[in-house]
Amino acid sequence: MSSSNALYDALVEILPQERVVVGEALKERFYHIWRTDVPLNAKVFVMPKTTEEVSAICKLCSSLNQPIIVFGGRTNLVGSTETCGDELVLSMELMNQIEETDVGSRTMTVQSGVILEEIQNEAKRNDLLFPLNFGAKGSSQIGGCISTNAGGLRVLKFGMTRALVLGLEVVLMDGTIINSMKKIIKDNSGYDLKQMFIGSEGTLGIVTKAVLKLIEIPISRNSAFIGLNDFDKILQFLRFVDKGLAGSLSGFEFIEKYCYKSMTGETSQNNPPIPPSYNYYLLIESMGADSVRDKALMENLLTQAIEEEIILDAVMAHTESDFNWFWSVREDVDVIASMCTHDQHFDVSVSPNKMGPYLKGVLEEMKNVKGVEHCFAFGHIADGNMHFIVGKDSEADDLRLAINEVVYRPLKDLQGSVSAEHGIGVHKKAYLSISRTKAEIALMQSLKATLDPKNLLNPGKVLN
């Protein structure tokens, strides 16, 4: 009997046969939500519904030395779900239950396959808010958000995903279930083990459940688009508006001129909220408790900022329709990706006070790279996160590496990061040493060897 047959026979003793996919049926599965033209290349595809099933699968695979790749919403941008053909793919799609919304403790207990937008909607139904938010919210699963420590549009006020996770349940490669599903914020009883798994990209354990922290839903939300020409004024305006709003600033997004023109141009469904004549654009959001007062406060701050020549132009959203329009401009990155023959994505971190020269250098150097057609820049500028989408004329390796060189090379001297929020996966492994010291990488490898000594869980991801 072949090892494949032995694996299949053992799996159908753990799961119903219809949740174990092999052979020709694998061609109906895909490794990425945007690559449905490439059939899944794997040995077997399984869909557990319970933590106990995940545990049994891991225990079986450990005994057979069978590698596992974990699938969430498959929206990653770093090759985290790419396969070689010999893996068991473990999909969390059926572990999709919201188990409890506890209004009293302002928590939600969810399985890892729940879609982020469903969590947001459930919180809203209970007059609460789960503040994690980004463009792929309609397809990203919370387990993937946790495994990559996702960031998004409100990190400035609420932090990364790890700040919103109170409890976690994780299955180790040997089948051990680590249950730390507490609803408490303060717990200094030894090591905070859940933090080890948040951001580890599924290489140390499989996240199966989480307790999420919710907040009271804001009564008012105000937003404005701002235009300015001097990058140094961006940081001046950030301090000005953050101080003036007294802690209610929840979003501070940046769009470079060429990117803004493309996001609001002929190929876009969105008209420009302000004229496309400035070098830089900001989109800000505040959350508060008094609709009339909060709106007047933002209007007065914007007027004062123009009078003091900190900014050049501003327009506020006056209706819910305006608010959705403004944010759809920022969130609809598909419109710029669609302009590219081939596209290459980046998310880097640089200290905000060093971002101006770095951005200018990347945009200037990219013009000299033969094969580059576009370079779009936008990001969460208040927390030092810049995104680039580079349009290019081919998928040639030498072109990919030349583009990487322009974006990544300056980061070491700037003490920046090659990954602000998307993770390392496969595509950024060669550049990990830019962001991490040898000692840090050695410690990561030690953790991996301790928890997954056979290197079976998401092998080849993050670390060599």
Q: Which of these three, 334, 354, 386, is where a domain ends?
A: 334
Q: Are 148 and 76 in contact (CB under 8 A)?
A: yes
Q: Is position 446 within any domain?
A: no
Q: Mean pLDDT in the chain?
A: 95
CATH number at residue 370: 3.30.70.2740
Residues 105 and 206 in one domain: yes
Residues 195 and 143 in one domain: yes
**What's the domain range around 395?**
340-422
Tens-place pLDDT, residues 269-282: 899 999 999 999 99
Kindly state the average pLDDT of the residues 301-329.
96
Q: Is position 463 within any domain?
A: no
Residues 390 and 309 in one domain: no
Kindly state the average pLDDT of the residues 357-377.
98
Q: Are 44 and 89 in contact (CB under 8 A)?
A: yes
CATH number at residue 327: 3.30.70.2190
Residues 117 and 150 in one domain: yes
Under the banding of pLDDT at 50, 70 and 90, the label for residue 2 is low
Q: Are 175 and 127 in contact (CB under 8 A)?
A: no
Q: Are 457 and 202 in contact (CB under 8 A)?
A: yes
Q: What is the 3 state secondary structure string of 58-101? A: HHHHHHHCCCEEEECCCCCCCCCCCCCCCCEEEECCCCCCEEEE
Phi, psi at 207, each rounded to 5°: -70, 125
Q: Is position 437 within any domain?
A: no
Q: Is position 42 within any domain?
A: yes
Q: Which of these three, 155, 190, 216, is where a domain ends?
A: 216
Q: Quote the pLDDT of residue 1.
A: 38
Q: Quote the pLDDT of residue 33.
A: 80
Q: Are 1 and 60 in contact (CB under 8 A)?
A: no
CATH number at residue 58: 3.30.43.10
Compute how many other C-beta atoms are within 10 angstroms of the C-beta atom of residue 341: 12
More confident residue, 1 or 36: 36
d(CA 5, CA 25): 16
Q: Is position 110 within any domain?
A: yes
Range with lowest mean pLDDT among 24-33, 353-362, 432-441: 24-33
Kindly state the average pLDDT of the residues 180-206.
96
Q: Quote the pLDDT of residue 336.
A: 93
Return the amino acid letter for 413. Answer: D
Residues 130 and 228 in one domain: no
Q: Is position 34 within any domain?
A: yes
Residue 27: name the closest of 39, 42, 43, 45 by CA: 39
Residue 41 has pLDDT above 70, yes or no: yes
Q: Quote the pLDDT of residue 38.
A: 84
Q: Which residues contact 236 (CB under 8 A, 6 or more apart)?
A: 310
Residues 119 and 179 in one domain: yes
Residue 229: name the closest of 250, 251, 260 by CA: 260
Residues 103 and 211 in one domain: yes
Kindly state the average pLDDT of the residues 423-443.
96
Whole-number percent of the chain with pLDDT over 70: 99
d(CA 84, CA 62): 18
Q: Is position 444 within any domain?
A: no
Residues 74 and 112 in one domain: no
Residues 313 and 355 in one domain: no
Q: Which residues contact 266 (CB under 8 A, 6 or more apart)?
A: none
Q: Is position 448 within any domain?
A: no
Locate 2 and state its tokens: 């072949």
Q: Are 169 and 179 in contact (CB under 8 A)?
A: yes
Compute how many other C-beta atoms are within 10 angstroms of the C-beta atom of residue 290: 11
Residue 267 has pLDDT above 90, yes or no: no
Compute how many other C-beta atoms are within 10 angstroms of the C-beta atom of residue 4: 13
Tens-place pLDDT, residues 157-168: 999 999 999 999
Residues 185 and 117 in one domain: yes
Sign for the CA dihedral angle at 323, 325, 330, 333 comes to: positive
Residues 47 and 112 in one domain: no
Tens-place pLDDT, residues 13-27: 999 999 999 999 999
Q: Which of these three, 176, 191, 216, is where a domain ends?
A: 216
Residues 103 and 205 in one domain: yes
Domain total of the chain: 4
Q: Quote the pLDDT of residue 376.
A: 98
